[in-house]
Amino acid sequence: MRVKNNVSWNCPQTVFLGLGANIKNPADNLSKAFEHLKNEVLEGACLSSLYITEPMDVKEQPEFINAVCRGQFRGSPQELLAAIHLIEDSLGRDRSREQRRGPRPIDIDILLFGSLVLNNPPLLVIPHERLRDRKFALVPLLEIAPDLIDPVNGAPYASYIAEIEDQLISRLN
């Protein structure tokens, strides 16, 4: 495991979480997931607009609804991941029965955790390993944090959008 940066887990860290869903009332599931995050996990949480996006890897499935949540978290990345999994479970996600990158009622990913760089695949990679390639994550992320910088190389996240091939995305609200 490689960890860059000496971080105290007692100090709140600004975290960005990607939320996505495409079955079983996805917009409602995103709303419920955000309420759990806001009330139980994060301080000062806010949510981007909702976006309709096409599936990337498994094409034969419904469109996704995506958003990004920002908030302050006191604890380790592993504690945040455990809290996220509890929320996903409570909203009907069953990882043992779903197709990898297939349809799901809710998916919550840790996109960024302060300026932490953590490389512990397959358990946890921060920044999210595919963030730079996903317009469905970058567009809502930049909506709520337009000047955000990649902690790995210091590049503005906005610079990655032009490099992404066609990925259809449109604002829902």
Catalytic (active site) residue 109: yes
User: Which residue among 89, 94, 100, 107 is the active-site one?
Assistant: 107
Angle between helices 77-90 and 26-36 (to 10 degrees): 140
User: Which residue among 70, 93, 132, 134 is the active-site one?
Assistant: 93
Catalytic (active site) residue 130: no
Q: Contacts from 124-129 at CB under 8 Å and sequence distance 24+? A: 124/77, 124/78, 124/81, 126/77, 127/151, 127/152, 128/18
Beta carbons within 10 angstroms of residue 149's beta carbon: 14
User: Which residue among 109, 132, 134, 147 is the active-site one?
Assistant: 109
Contact between 138 and 53 under an 8 Å Cβ cutoff? The reply is: no
Catalytic (active site) residue 134: no
User: Which residue among 104, 130, 134, 166 is the active-site one?
Assistant: 104
Catalytic (active site) residue 95: no
Q: Which positions are annotated as active-site residues?
A: 93, 104, 107, 109
